Amino acid sequence: MNTPVARERESRLAWSTDGAHLRPEPRPEAPAVAPGATRLRLERRAAGRLVTVVTGLPGDATAAAALAQECKRASAAGGAFKDGVLELQGDQRERVEAVLRARGVQSKRAGGDPGGKR
């Protein structure tokens, strides 16, 4: 194991490879979701693929996961729900908005339209 060389004038640690002095940084808590803060955004990923991203689903983790599952089922598209963010393959904004409206959840489209020409 490498150890730093301490000089008389400089007695502070210059470097270390053991990592024992490093402290993990505290993780910020997830911000509370304000009512009506559900956002639908369309993103262009690698190779020109479109992905619908839904953030701010209401309720606790279980309720948000159930709503995300309902959105996935209604859109008949593959997707993932992780860390409070639902990602669906393709442009599914219309179908997701219909599901949210049926459940009484207000949503808003965010961002521009990446479906246009580059």
pLDDT at residue 4 above 60? no
The label of the residue with tokens 């179908």 reads 95
Distance CA 78, CA 49 (A): 13
* 69: Cβ contacts below 8 Å, ≥ 6 apart: 81
Q: The domain 38-110: what is its CATH number?
A: 3.30.780.10
**pTM beyond 0.85:** no
Domain boundaries, the chain: 38-110
Residue pLDDT, tens place only, 27-73: 555 545 555 589 999 999 888 899 999 999 988 889 999 999 999 99
